[in-house]
Chains A and B, each alone.
Chain A
Amino acid sequence: MDASLEVSGLAYAYPDGTQALFGVTTSVRRGERVALLGPNGAGKTTLVLHLNGILHGGAGTVRVGGMPVDPSDKKALKEIRRRVGVVFQDPDDQLFMPTAREDVAFGPANLGLRGAALERRVEEALERVGMAEFADRAPQHLSFGQRRRVAVATVLAMEPEILVLDEPSSNLDPASRRELAEILLSLDVTILMVTHDLPYAAQLCPRSLILSGGVIAADGPTLELLADAELMAAHRLELPFGFIPQALSGA
Chain B
Amino acid sequence: MGAGHAHALYVRRDSVVHRLPPHCKIVATVGFVLAVAITPRHEVWAFAAYALLLAGVTVVARIPFGTVLRRMVIEIPFVAFAFFLPFVARGERVEVLGLALSVDGLWGAFGILAKGTLGVVASILLAATTEPRTLLLGVERLGLPPLLTQIATFMFRYLDVVADELRRMRIARAARGFEARDLRDAKVLARSLGALFLRCFERGERVHLAMLSRGYDGAMPVLAEVGASRRQWALSAALPAAAGLVAAAAWMAVWTLR
Partners in one complex: yes
Residues of A within 8 A of B223 (CB): 102, 105-106, 109, 118
Complex CA–CA separation, A154 to B207 (angstroms): 14
> Is B215 close to A, CB under 8 A?
yes
Among A92, A98, A109, A158, which residue has its beta carbon within 8 angstroms of that of B161? Answer: A92
CB-defined contacts of A109 to chain B, threshold 8 Å = 221, 223
Is B2 an interface residue, CB under 8 A from the partner?
Answer: yes
Query: Does B203 make an interface contact (CB < 8 A)?
Result: yes
Chain B interface residue count, CB cutoff 8 Å, equals 27
User: In the complex, A93 Cα to B154 Cα: how many Å?
Assistant: 11
Q: Does A88 contact B (CB under 8 A)?
A: yes
User: How far is it, in angstroms, between the C-alpha of A46 and the C-alpha of B223 when the chains are bound?
Assistant: 32
Is B170 in the interface zone, CB < 8 Å from A?
no
Contact A93 to B210, CB < 8 A, known contacts A140-B1, A141-B2: yes
A109 to B214, CA, bound (A): 10
Contact B161–A54 (Cβ < 8 Å): no
A90 within 8 A of B: yes
Q: Which of A5-13, A26-34, A59-67, A78-86 contacts B (4 or more CB under 8 A)?
A: A78-86
Q: Which residue of B lies closest to A90 (CB)?
A: B206
Please measure, in the bound complex, the distance between the C-alpha atom of A139 and the C-alpha atom of B207, giving whole angstroms: 14
Q: Which residues of A contact B211 (CB under 8 A)?
A: 96, 106
Q: Given A98-B157, A141-B4, A49 and B214 touching (CB < 8 A)?
A: no
- Do B210 and A94 touch (CB < 8 A)? yes
Complex CA distance for A132 and B224, rounded to whole angstroms:
19
Asked if B104 is an interface residue, CB under 8 A from chain A, the answer is no
- The 9 closest A-B CB pairs, nearest first, are A109-B221, A110-B215, A140-B2, A107-B214, A93-B206, A140-B160, A98-B133, A86-B213, A94-B210
Q: List the interface of chain A (C-beta within 8 A of B).
A: 49, 52, 54, 74, 78, 81-82, 84-86, 88, 90, 92-94, 96-98, 102, 105-107, 109-111, 118, 138-141, 143-144, 154-155, 158
Can you report 26 residue pairs joining A to B where beta carbons are below 8 Å apart? A49-B209, A52-B213, A78-B215, A78-B217, A81-B212, A81-B214, A86-B210, A88-B206, A92-B158, A93-B203, A93-B210, A96-B154, A96-B157, A96-B211, A97-B157, A102-B224, A106-B214, A106-B216, A107-B214, A109-B221, A109-B223, A110-B216, A138-B4, A139-B157, A141-B1, A155-B214
